[in-house]
Chain A
């Protein structure tokens, strides 16, 4: 097993927040400036940043054992992030400053996470030292994932489009579950005494890309075939790379088994 130092979760949070927001803004500008939907796939890059951030936060919380299984935390993240995201985007829409929407959604989700984190440690007495910050982070990453995949599917993160194209069509249901999967699945699959950050986060990237492909397929209905095809093809290529590098990490971490043969039937 290779010796390595874990990346601090604050670094990952910075990368997740800045990378996630930048990507969805770039996608929005490309789509709006050229009046096309070809920029939609850039949203997926933002989703990957947010997924890596969220998966690491799940890892830091669940290391302590929460007693209910890792998957519940992904559902909690999206339960916390959904309404604050809608509210943030609505404020952007209401005030007419659409670009403020994603930042507000992220900030509100972080606040919501802080409150739930406080409840978990202060009221429910879970005594998990990373709970407070971890909850802030997973709520934030859930909000970014929602907006990023909304950009992938509808080509924009505007409130109106989010309510009609994502929620009204029912695409929110797969978005809720599949969006949560890449953040809850990696640690659930990799946990154990030899869990390491690189392998878990590689799995997060890999599952993020396969989910991107699914949202790419759904986006055919909203942005049309050509922009959707870009997302699907790039997503598939990236997924193959992600899969292979995860496979390599698994082999790196695996125990070497040497074949010594069976015991001889009789002693010579």
Chain B
């Protein structure tokens, strides 16, 4: 039997995780089909798929570190014990094992960041050497990070092409938030007694809900934090908070009844 305070913390942690995923999605430069044809800035696919790929790699790397702790390659006996008896998210458990939690979250963040950089970087290689287009955004005149002039290089009739510096940096920030949120949710599931497979698929389910809600808020393409659409994030914040906490309550109910 898991005590109510721990359950409450778990619900909140799922809520926070979902929120981070949702905000992270707003940072990811999504260009959709136009970007695949070098007619818009961003990575040429939909938000859901991008968020999912970042989330999956985040989960894989979080799972890897988790496994290394479980088999003793990384020695952290109290963390393993806390995950085993479901006390990881009790107030005392968090204080005692903050290092372990941080390690898992860091692994998730690194995985998701890597995925975003690979997605942005490889598509840039294709844009530059395959299609011969410069990497520019049409939404801003000067790149907010490098200060490079952009409007001169935008092909007429397009919204820019490739993933320029600011969009790539934005993607990395998106990866940080998404990886953090995803691995936090994953850890809650594991601490609640779910099997590794169940924890992963549960985290992916919540990831999908939040990334789709975020992309409904964006409606189409976004370039990153310099995009005018980015101002809409507060709406996604409220939406994801409600959605994630409700899902968190379902999860807490399952944990309360005992997962096994």
Contact with B along A166-188 (1 / 0, CB 8 A): 01111011001000000000000
The verdict on A123 contacting chain B, using a C-beta distance below 8 Å, is yes
The verdict on A233 contacting chain B, using a C-beta distance below 8 Å, is no
Across the interface, B206 reaches (CB within 8 A) one of A79, A116, A124, A125, namely: A79
Q: How far is the CA of A71 from the CA of B46 in the complex (A)?
A: 9
The smallest C-beta distance from A23 to any residue of chain B, in angstroms, reads: 24
The verdict on A250 contacting chain B, using a C-beta distance below 8 Å, is no
Q: Closest residue to A108 on the B side, CB-wise?
A: B250
Which residues 138-171 of A sit at the B interface, judged by CB distance below 8 A? 163, 167-170
The verdict on A86 contacting chain B, using a C-beta distance below 8 Å, is yes
Q: How far is the CA of A90 from the CA of B242 in the complex (A)?
A: 23
* Interface residue tally on B, bucketed by range: 35 or more
Of B32, B205, B257, the most chain A CB neighbours within 10 A belong to B205
- In the complex, the answer to whether A167 meets B195 with C-beta atoms within 8 Å is yes
- In the complex, the answer to whether B217 meets A124 with C-beta atoms within 8 Å is yes
User: B126-134, B157-165, B208-216: which lies at the A interface?
Assistant: B208-216
The verdict on A67 contacting chain B, using a C-beta distance below 8 Å, is yes
The verdict on A40 contacting chain B, using a C-beta distance below 8 Å, is no
**A170/B213 contact (C-beta < 8 A), A79-B205, A112-B246 known:** no
Q: Closest residue to B212 on the A side, CB-wise?
A: A76
The verdict on A222 contacting chain B, using a C-beta distance below 8 Å, is no
Across the interface, B213 reaches (CB within 8 A) one of A71, A94, A119, namely: A119
What A residues does B47 contact at CB under 8 A?
68, 72
Which residues 40-72 of A sit at the B interface, judged by CB distance below 8 A? 66-69, 71-72
Q: How far is the CA of A90 from the CA of B194 in the complex (A)?
A: 13
**A90/B257 contact (C-beta < 8 A), A115-B242, A123-B242 known:** yes
Q: How far is the CA of A133 from the CA of B202 in the complex (A)?
A: 25
What B residues does A112 contact at CB under 8 A?
246-247, 250
- In the complex, the answer to whether A168 meets B198 with C-beta atoms within 8 Å is yes
The verdict on B243 contacting chain A, using a C-beta distance below 8 Å, is yes
Q: How far is the CA of A127 from the CA of B64 in the complex (A)?
A: 43
The verdict on B66 contacting chain A, using a C-beta distance below 8 Å, is no
The verdict on B48 contacting chain A, using a C-beta distance below 8 Å, is yes
- In the complex, the answer to whether A123 meets B48 with C-beta atoms within 8 Å is no
Which residues 195-237 of B sit at the A interface, judged by CB distance below 8 A? 195, 197-198, 201-202, 204-209, 212-213, 215-220, 235-236
**A76/B197 contact (C-beta < 8 A), A66-B216, A68-B46, A120-B216 known:** no
What A residues does B152 contact at CB under 8 A?
none
**A82/B216 contact (C-beta < 8 A), A68-B47, A125-B235 known:** no
Total chain A interface residues with beta-carbon distance under 8 A: 38
What A residues does B258 contact at CB under 8 A?
94
Across the interface, B239 reaches (CB within 8 A) one of A69, A123, A169, namely: A123
The smallest C-beta distance from A237 to any residue of chain B, in angstroms, reads: 32
Q: How far is the CA of A116 from the CA of B244 in the complex (A)?
A: 10
**A68/B198 contact (C-beta < 8 A), A79-B206, A79-B208 known:** no
Q: Closest residue to B47 on the A side, CB-wise?
A: A68
The smallest C-beta distance from A166 to any residue of chain B, in angstroms, reads: 9
What A residues does B207 contact at CB under 8 A?
79
Q: Closest residue to B257 on the A side, CB-wise?
A: A94
What B residues does A12 contact at CB under 8 A?
none
- In the complex, the answer to whether A80 meets B216 with C-beta atoms within 8 Å is no
What B residues does A169 contact at CB under 8 A?
197
The verdict on A13 contacting chain B, using a C-beta distance below 8 Å, is no
Q: How far is the CA of A83 from the CA of B216 in the complex (A)?
A: 21
**A163/B209 contact (C-beta < 8 A), A67-B219, A68-B215 known:** no
What A residues does B242 contact at CB under 8 A?
115, 119, 123
Across the interface, A87 reaches (CB within 8 A) one of B215, B243, B254, namely: B254
The verdict on A84 contacting chain B, using a C-beta distance below 8 Å, is yes
- In the complex, the answer to whether A67 meets B46 with C-beta atoms within 8 Å is no
The verdict on A126 contacting chain B, using a C-beta distance below 8 Å, is yes
- In the complex, the answer to whether A78 meets B205 with C-beta atoms within 8 Å is yes
Q: How far is the CA of A115 from the CA of B213 in the complex (A)?
A: 12
Which residues 63-114 of A sit at the B interface, judged by CB distance below 8 A? 66-69, 71-73, 75-76, 78-80, 82-84, 86-87, 90-91, 94, 108, 112
15 example contacts (A-B, Cβ-Cβ < 8 A) are as follows A66-B219, A75-B48, A76-B208, A79-B204, A83-B250, A87-B254, A94-B257, A108-B250, A112-B247, A116-B213, A119-B213, A163-B198, A167-B197, A167-B201, A176-B201
Instruction: List the 3 closest A-B pairs by CB distance, nearest first.
Output: A67-B219, A79-B208, A79-B209
